[in-house]
Amino acid sequence: MAWIRWGKSAGLTLLALIAMVATACGSGSGNTPTQTLNRSGTITIWHGYEGTYLDAKKAIYDSYTKQYPNVTINLVHKPNLTDAVTAAAGAGQGPDVVAWVDDQIGKWVKLEAIKPMDAYVSRDYMSSQFTPAAVDAATFEGKTYGMPESVEAITIIYNKKLVNSSQIPKTTDGLVTFAKSYSQTNPGSYGVVWNPKDAYFQAPWIYGSGGFYVKADGSVGLNSSGTKAGFNYVASFKGAMPAGVDYGIADTLFKEGRAAMIINGPWSVADYVKAGVDYGYATLPTVQASGKAASPFVGVKTLMLGAYSANPALAVDVMKFFSNQANQTNMVLTTREIPANKLALADPKVQAIPDIAGFGAQVKNGVPLPNTPFMSALWDPVAKALEAVWTGKQSVDDALRDAQTAAEKNVAQLK
């Protein structure tokens, strides 16, 4: 799975953002249930942020250390963060905080890579600050394992200079027809693009068709009729998108005005602003066969407490500061993310942002990104099956048969 959302640009410079977050006084560290806090020491955070997107996050941490100069925060970028965390846990090591997405929580709990935060933050605090979905995403087997940051889902982003809102198809069949027609009338350009070989980006079609990847009990659904229908739909775009299309190619085509629409997430928006694209939003179409709306995964970016943190109370205090109302409000004014902090989300300045309204409309049609440990068993088999189907190496039935077998084997190893 390509969780490159963490690596997209934010927009404002670091110095400008520091000035904004400097007003976000206090860490919001009250309501600590049992532990005494000593704001002194070093906190190491492993993350996947990249480029200027990192600036928006770093500015908040810099503001914390400015207020508490006895604290040092080390931000360590890990290109393959999930593998790095898993390997470190196996060696009895790891950072104080892991900044990632909620789908890994169950797996990392079982591997003892992260630990519960209930001794440092109360459930009342969590429910007072965050949306219910975000609290649920950070909860596993009744315990709190993370501090939610933002909520995200993919949707249609369109170039207003190339297509108007009335032309955007409302059904999946209509989207295929539009894509093929656009390419024919605009040689070298494309009606819609996205990464057709990534499991995350295909969830809308699969779940909207009644299929699924895996359930909480470990049941794998890759050979279900709904999943096959979703795969067949993706395959129907062959010829309407470049044969070698991936995330980077799709992103570049949209930035260059060679794609009328792209299916992407909120992490991409600042780059489109920078590229000068006059863009708008539309929700993903209704799946023709099922009559259901296409259902993307709704993930929650989360700060998780490392199992080997030497100063967990301080680590949680840093997380609470990062995710408080003032800091999250200022951050999303730059990044255009949907804040998990419900107080920040309710801010009139945040509500007035078209980007947040656009993605928020799509989130309503989404399905929660599961935090069961079994989810980690599905990404690779699904990606390999998509690659095989897109390149023509296997039929949908054959690719999903093999993927089902591989995923069930992976799940069994996790039980």
Average pLDDT over residues 17-33: 44
Does residue 393 share a domain with residue 307?
no
- Total domains in the fold of the chain: 2
Please, what sign has the CA dihedral across residues 346, 348, 353, 357? Answer: positive
293 has pLDDT over 70 = yes
Does residue 253 share a domain with residue 197?
yes
pLDDT of residue 131: 86
Does residue 317 share a domain with residue 398?
no
CA angle 235, 238, 240 (to 5 degrees): 130
Does residue 88 share a domain with residue 169?
no
| Per-residue pLDDT tens over the stretch 352-393 | 998 988 998 888 888 888 888 898 899 999 999 999 999 999
Question: In 10 A of CB 248, how many CB atoms?
Answer: 11
Sheet strands (E) in 309-370: 338-339, 367-368
Show the domain range for 183. Answer: 155-297+371-414
**% of the chain at pLDDT higher than 90:** 75
Q: What is the CATH number of the domain that holds 359?
A: 3.40.190.10
Confidence of residue 27 (pLDDT cuts 50, 70, 90): very low
Contacts of 290 (CB under 8 A, 6+ apart): 208, 209, 210, 226, 229
Does residue 144 share a domain with residue 54?
yes
| Torsion angles phi and psi, residue 303, rounded to 5 | -95, 120
Does residue 196 share a domain with residue 74?
no
> What does the CA dihedral 43, 44, 48, 52 come to, rounded to 10 degrees?
60
Average pLDDT over residues 54-83: 95
23 has pLDDT over 80 = no
| Torsion angles phi and psi, residue 157, rounded to 5 | -115, 125
pLDDT of residue 364: 84
Does residue 292 share a domain with residue 224?
yes
pLDDT of residue 33: 60
Contacts of 259 (CB under 8 A, 6+ apart): 159, 189, 190, 191, 192, 193, 250, 253
Average pLDDT over residues 4-16: 35
239 has pLDDT over 90 = yes
End-to-end CA distance of the chain: 22
Sheet strands (E) in 250-385: 259-264, 279-282, 297-305, 338-339, 367-368
Confidence of residue 20 (pLDDT cuts 50, 70, 90): very low
144 has pLDDT over 60 = yes
- Looking at every residue in the chain, the average pLDDT score rounds to 90
Contacts of 207 (CB under 8 A, 6+ apart): 226, 230, 294, 295, 296, 297, 367
| Per-residue pLDDT tens over the stretch 193-230 | 999 999 999 999 999 999 999 998 999 999 999 999 99
46 has pLDDT over 90 = yes
Does residue 183 share a domain with residue 70?
no
Does residue 313 share a domain with residue 224?
no
Least-confidence region, from 111-115, 234-238, 362-366, 380-384: 362-366
Does residue 384 share a domain with residue 341?
no
As beta bridge partners, residue 156 has 263, 282
pLDDT of residue 30: 43
Does residue 266 share a domain with residue 211?
yes
Average pLDDT over residues 275-279: 97
Amino acid occupying residue 175: L
Confidence of residue 51 (pLDDT cuts 50, 70, 90): low
pLDDT of residue 34: 59
| Per-residue pLDDT tens over the stretch 308-335 | 999 999 999 999 999 999 999 999 888 8
13 has pLDDT over 60 = no
Does residue 387 share a domain with residue 293?
yes
pLDDT of residue 350: 92
